[in-house]
Structure 1
């Protein structure tokens, strides 16, 4: 995402003049919901600053995608587990050649040379580095810096943008535009953090016995394994991808200390962590107090649980989607959790001072996300669970607070512990909270199941939701707790599926049996 290309004002002016006249049409506008949480800052932007612009091309066969996915994911399908190759996916969904040609011709005729334009191998994206001035000219728009009213995150965005009417049909969307993408180091150098701005690590007593006796206060790898019946990893043929959609990284030294303390009893080299980023081991990032919390949590949980499976670590982090909030008492919808093609994970915890033998409840330390989509229809795999939920536990909230049509996707699908997770940070033991801990636990569990399937000559589990809903007994039902918010108690945990913890927490042994019984 780096570029050293800076165009002189005269060159910029020339490119603008050279752009052909065409009838432009507004392609996207910022939503009212997004605008309610982001405040436009009246500050000048450097017109020479480089912006990584991506154009999502209109793809082929998307209307058939759902059916094809369910055909290989539904446990009742004859084609279950017969996942497509990368080549077949690319060939099936790639944009038509006329689409690629039309868009690239528009770009070159607008003064962007071919050597600056990259078409993805999947023929679904076009990427180029533009200055802000070039992007504004190309899209007939004006970029501004926005700030989130709650998180104070900053975002480069526009109110609307336009493209030629003749190529609008060839473009799905363009970023960064109306989406709020966090601006990080490659756009604008961050100001050095004052000491008071850096979160101080809450150090734990290293003399504590890290066994099951302390799980009511400190969740370690052993606690997680006991809670969800998870074994040590034994197969290295499987692998697990960890993706950071922010500028967080992991600290290799902290990871080695974690593995030594909780997994192997010795320091483990990070040679099984395949890093897809050229900045991950940059010493400044590696030792930064404010950059490793999320990255450390993700890598330590996953690698600790699936070891000796390798981890593929993708650090994206330049311009990435931020969530949007609700207002006026409307429950916030989480993205991408509300999407029916995502396995959404809620958060649970052990009762304070309890043990792994006690039933977990929804997290009290923070509100575990959950609810109902305003966009996605109720998926077939979820129909039975939702019918039971609405028949017995329909929420009393009105349509002003959530989508109560009973015809939309509900989430999460599953849950796992997300409170008091013990990791290393800056060389010391500390605790972290959040569904950002719950999701890696669930991902690790399925990666272990993949290892067993590979050893038996089977394929990976793929999209797991249809199997989870077909066999809800493989989960530990969570019936206590809620996810309060916007002045209410939120939704409540109930018998069966609920919009706080989904179907419940996983039981590895039961899920392994279910997936091993499939082709």
Structure 2
């Protein structure tokens, strides 16, 4: 949908003229003698008043900021505007003819209209207007030279400047903002209910994933929403473009001054203290009341994140002498020294035989201009998987200015790690890499843009792994919900969406001395993604101390998880009481090894720790399970969580020792069953295959 401005139609008896608040409002109006005078009246209610200077035949917008393009709709279509009334005229030289729409009583007009002091000689004739009763209306003179926001309602707000940011001052009125608007989707609740139905192993519809067209039918906005929002853009002379195939997201640009006016906002410059990066945001914004129910959010406004997103990888060069090549029959204890594909295959029972299903695909994402190097992957496979082909080519897609520079000296650590372990473990499963650059306008690191990229593909990956995230409260609630529901759309298509849980323990990005509460990670807390924590060691595995986990402040406990969470909290008792949301969605869901991984970058070997290691490892397991399912004529796994917390719970290796300290506490302890450090545990391939009935 592209919001296009139509040329205004000349007003006449029984007609309304729709005019832009920003391009028409300063047009001079003729007085009774045809002379030019200024008539700047401002409105604070939703009605459009026109007057025609009969002597000159001119038409001008009066109270032009009150233009409602819903005037073009049928009578009573909009609750606040009954606009299709016949207009009664009284003509005569020197009379201004006022067409008062949805507005004010005849006896009140002289009290409600206040001429601009610079408009000398403009008389208001009480007999020269059309009378349409019912809705209170008020006009007042303008003194600022800018349209005033009218009948706005606060849509999103923050109580204070978020932690880690400081306020510099107001943003210049001339600064250009790139904004997006999410429209209310037609039936998102219906999509989520359908997703739950097709993802519950006990449902007769289990595994019956939706088509792209079926998903879009749920999320596309209604025609009424499109018309109403399109009219608002036209009214304000703003060009908007649809940026996804479902049509529920629009992109547009405007100056700060205009945005402050239209949205009743105070866009300001904020500095991210740690990085020094500056962003323009507001602590609150409003929308016209008639857009409520049509507009879900305007963005970026109250979301405070600074690209690139935080990757959960830390690497140390170890050189070629520190690398120990293993045979594929390595003992699990080998993982104590160094983690490579062979030790993971042995530890988790992952098969080494090549996959056979060409429709099975792993998507790996990289942010902050990260890309994966094919030469490094070839070297990695030669050293650690000499039993497979060294054909290391894979498609690299770029969005938001992403990079695919195959110079090995510039490849990203995170990108190389993720591609090397998905390709090195999921033998024969093709991978694709999505490089997200720094030209980001989605306000959430490119997370939304990357999700939308996969949604537009005819055949999206069957599993997507992402090793990036942020603190949950960095992201506005409405934005978090919308992005989470976007991952639900991918899940409905049959894609498993994995995110690393983060490396901040219970602290998140806070420092211990400033920490007053446990900080959950996002998108790991989204119920429609599977969050992966980290473990270390073997015989037994134990929780990695940095593995982020806890409870969401945005989402309540989902039904699939309620038993697991309530059982854990019952055993936990009063420990950490008041530091976390005991009624929130718990994360992570599962875990995998996350310490002492070896990978190749610029021909050298590096040692790396983090849940960045864990997510691609689990993604490789999911991909191989999908391969077996497809070969058996079944569908891919899609949204994993309902399966994991039911029939597959016993197919995971339960991790019962370790914790994730922070904020001056020991954090949460790992224990029997689910816990907010390692989730339900680490993969056992054969047991998972059996739970799937393959």
Q: TM-score range by the shorter chain?
A: 0.7 to 0.9
Query: Which of these residues, 275, 289, 293, is aligned with residue 413 of structure 2?
Result: 293
**1:234: which partner in 2?**
355
Report the Cα offset of residue 149 of structure 1.
4.3
- Say which SS state the counterpart of residue 317 (structure 2) adopts: coil
**1:461/1:515 contact within 8 Å kept:** no
Change (3 A) 1:339 1:279: closer
Q: 1:500 corresponds to which residue?
A: 677
Whether 1:390 aligns to 2:514 is: no
Task: Say which structure is richer in helix.
Answer: 1
Measured in 1, the distance between the counterparts of 2:337 and 2:394 equals 31
Residue 209 of structure 1 aligns with which residue?
324
Q: Which has the larger radius of gyration?
A: 2
How is 1:245-394 mapped onto 2 (pairs within 5 angstroms)? 245-264=367-386, 268-277=390-399, 279-283=401-405, 292-317=412-437, 318=440, 319-321=443-445, 322-323=470-471, 324=474, 328-350=515-537, 356=538, 358-364=539-545, 367-394=546-573
Q: Answer yes or no: is 1:80 the counterpart of 2:259.
A: no
User: Given the two structures, how large is their TM-score scaled by the length of structure 2?
Assistant: 0.62
1:428 aligns with 2:604: yes
The alignment's TM-score, normalised by the length of structure 1, stands at 0.82
CA distance in structure 2 between the partners assigned to 1:479 and 1:61 by the alignment: 41
For 1:494 and 1:331, locate their aligned partners in 2 and report how far apart those are by CA, in whole Å: 19
Cα gap change, 1:183 to 1:103, in 2 (>3 Å): farther
Deviation at 1:279, TM superposition (A): 4.8
- Residue 340 of structure 1 deviates from its aligned partner by 2.2
Q: Distance in 2 between matches of 1:492 and 1:435?
A: 18
Deviates more, 1:301-310 or 1:443-452: 301-310
Residue of structure 1 aligned with 2:155, choices 14, 24, 27: 27
> 87-96 vs 377-386, which deviates more?
377-386
Shift of 1:433: 1.7
Comparing 367-376 with 446-455, greater Cα deviation is found at 367-376
* CA 333–260 in structure 1, closer or farther in 2 if over 3 Å, else same: same
Unaligned runs of 5+ in 1: 1-12, 186-198, 351-355
- SS of 2:643's equivalent in the other structure is helix
1:292 CA displacement: 1.0
Q: Could you report, residue by residue, the CA deviation over 1:186-221 in whole angstroms, capped at 9, with x for unpaired residues?
A: xxxxxxxxxxxxx99524334632224753232111
Aligned CA distance change for structure 1 residues 137 and 487 (closer, same or farther; 3 Å): same
Separation in structure 2 between the aligned mates of residue 101 and residue 271 of structure 1, nearest angstrom: 47
* Distance (Å, rounded) in 2 between the aligned partners of 1:507 and 1:241: 22
Match of 1:173 among 279, 297, 301: 297
C-alpha change, 1:332 and 1:183, in structure 2 (3 Å) is: closer
SS of 2:692 mapped into structure 1: helix
CA distance in 1, matches of 2:24, 2:548: 47
Give distance in 2, aligned partners of 1:224 and 1:154. 42
Deviation at 1:259, TM superposition (A): 2.7
How far the C-alpha of 1:331 sits from its partner, in A, is: 0.6
Aligned partners of 2:190 and 2:218 also within 8 Å: no
Contact 2:175 2:255 in 1 (8 A): yes
Match of 2:663 among 486, 489, 492: 486
TM-align CA RMSD: 3.2
**Map of 1:193 onto structure 2:** none
Would the alpha carbon gap of residues 208 and 337 (structure 1) be closer, same or farther in structure 2, given more than 3 Å must change?
A: closer
- Quick check: 1:156–1:182 contact (8 Å CA) kept in 2? no
Which residue pairs with 1:417 in the alignment?
A: 593
CA distance in 2, matches of 1:139, 1:288: 46
Counterpart position of 1:438: 614
Conserved in 2, the CA contact under 8 Å of 1:475 and 1:504?
A: yes
Residue of structure 1 in register with 2:252 after alignment: 128
* Runs of at least 5 residues in structure 2 that lack an aligned partner in the other structure: 1-21, 28-63, 67-149, 446-469, 475-507
CA spacing shift, 1:504–1:220, aligned 2, 3 Å: same
Larger RCO of the pair (alpha carbons < 8 Å, separation 6+) = 1
